Amino acid sequence: NCPLTVADQVVVENGVTIVGPTNLPAQVGADASALYARNLLDFMKLLFDKDGALTINLEDDIVAACLMCRDGQVIRKNG
């Protein structure tokens, strides 16, 4: 969105660095995947104890907000 951007180049104009990647998704894919994987791992840590047994802690705000059903009953309806 800057008229001074040059495709696939990094230029400096008036002391300002302007980066012009044309394939931005290819540059952030690995970082985004790693972040998503880390978020999933951290969430799973909330659901399992240190021995690997499923332990749903309803006192945890994140777990409680994500719980959709329990014991065959719908807890949360989205929409």
Q: Is residue 61 part of a domain?
A: yes
- Can you give the residue range of the structural domain that contains 36? 10-74
Average pLDDT over residues 68-79: 86
* Contacts of 69 by beta carbon, 8 Å cutoff, 6+ apart: 75, 76
3 domain-assigned: no
User: Is residue 19 domain-resident?
Assistant: yes
Q: Write down the residue that tokens 């008036």 correspond to.
A: 14
Query: Quick check: is 2 in a domain?
Result: no
Q: Are 67 and 58 in contact (CB under 8 A)?
A: yes
Overall average pLDDT of the 58-74 stretch: 93
Average pLDDT over residues 27-55: 91
1 is a domain residue: no
Instruction: Please indicate, yes or no, if residue 79 is contained in any of the structural domains.
Output: no
- Residue 48 located in a structural domain: yes
What is the number of domains present in the chain? 1
Confidence band, pLDDT 50/70/90 cuts, at residue 77: confident
